[in-house]
A and B are shown apart, each in its own frame.
Chain A
Amino acid sequence: MRSLLRIQTGARTDLGRVRKNNEDSYQIEPELRLFVLSDGMGGEAHGEVASNLAVQTIVTHCQQAENSRATPIFGDSQPDVSERTNRLASAIHLANRKVFEMAAANPEQKGMGATIVAAWMEGQKLSIAHVGDSRAYLLRAGTLDQLTADHSLVAEKVRIGILTPQEADASEMQSVLTRAVGTSATVQVDATELILLVGDTLLLCSDGLTRMVTDPEIASTLLTSTSAQEAADRLIELANEYGGLDNASVIVMRVTQKSDGVLDRLKVWKRNSG
């Protein structure tokens, strides 16, 4: 089914002010309505290799699945999410395997890996899957919510209640991930889904943004930008203004309008008239 929602996208990645290479990768597939962002790790140029391979693998797998239902599923399917969301998770499982195999075959790449956050639209439904500390946020009716739970040591400690969010922000352990793509033979993927509404803004970003810029600043930037691309540019500029200690990448997606049928227009009229 073709989606009824119209979307506007913007994206940017930046080296930052300290790092010498950009280990982040991202890709937007407008036809597929697929958005993938990854933050690589592993020294030298290996982080770039890992994030790039992960992103390409995910895009290819989703494209194949779109063309043929016979495309194999990797990893265990979760019963509590849709087939589409399981497919996105499958793509990340495959990316994990590819990065892990490449690292195993090349001793100098040992330990390379990547985070992933991916979003895939089907009609009004959005599937989100992630591994690591790259995040998805939803801005809806002026309120920003983080849709993903970081797989980092400090975030896990906050979740079990032994660290406050403030302590986490100041911790030296922020770079310690509890899950990543490509660092072991299998990986646990978190996947979820939600219904998009006209007016929603979705943000995918690497930690180079969220370690520099607070959630309220992200919210006000998204709210006051006139286009998705302007929002992406301003977020990266903010990260650099506040120090740019790491590579930062963002994908911004805005749901702008729906091609309405008569009944939908009546519903909108009814809603507006209270």
Chain B
Amino acid sequence: MSTTVATPEPAKSRLWKPPIVGLVTFVLMFVGVGLAHTLMVLIEHNLGRETTLAVSPLLGFTGIILLWYGVKSKNETFQTWVGFFGGLIVWMCWVEFFYMWYGRMNWGMLPRMDGAGGLEVSGTYPEYMIMGSTVGTLLMMLCFYTFDKDTRCNMFLWFQDKLGLREGLGPTTKTAKDRNYAIITFMETVFVTWFCYAWNLLTFDPALTGKGNLFVAVNLASVFVAVVWAGFCLTRLIQFKRTATALRYAIPVGNIAWVNVEILEKLDLMSHAVFIDPWSYKLEASVLFGAFLTLIALLVVAPKKPSEVGARRVSAAE
């Protein structure tokens, strides 16, 4: 016999309905990408670079501990938040800081130079040169999701459809209640961040696109793709009613939109210095951080459907 935990349906909210849920989660994730830059800079500044790089492998375990709590939880919303923050921490510590140590302190790589006479240090630091070389690894690992019949990611479902894989893969064997959203969100955060980094790094690589017209053309094409892609996803996101689902969907939308920020900065058309040099923009950075925390708080207290808080979980057969 299976039981269902009964909880009253939440009162209908005038605020938390489309398109508010989608817009709030999009803004949260978009600003979140920038603030993740700030967090890295602050950690490095406060601990010192050498200490940061030395302890980053250990710091990364805090993301795994978070994930452990999330996986044990039955609350989908909690799983989603924990998976997101766990993924961010692990990416930051086990990828960015670790590559930083390898490139700057271990392998003795030099930064790419830019500007007049090639005498300005460009933003392509050694760790990003290493990261650019991981594109093959990324694509190889994405094969798993492309050929996984249980994936629910719309992009991979689209690929499966276009590649005629649906029949061969067969029907999914998992239902929503079989899924653990902590690990799903964790992996989503890692792969989306990785993918967007790789995208930017490939189009910025002068060995591939040069520094002249081809560079500008490729990067403007990237902006076009990123705007259309993020815009298309946003039109779907603003129809979401469940905050947990919207949060997960907003991770790629915010990151793809952020690809434009990096490109426009590279083309000297804008700057995101507020995120990477918060000391020079204390007020602005504080406002953005305050807004980010407010959005998180709003989403945490937003009315949830019972399925988002695990109230409809079917308990073990008695």
Specify whether A and B are partners: no
Binding site for B on A (CB under 8 A): none
Binding site for A on B (CB under 8 A): none
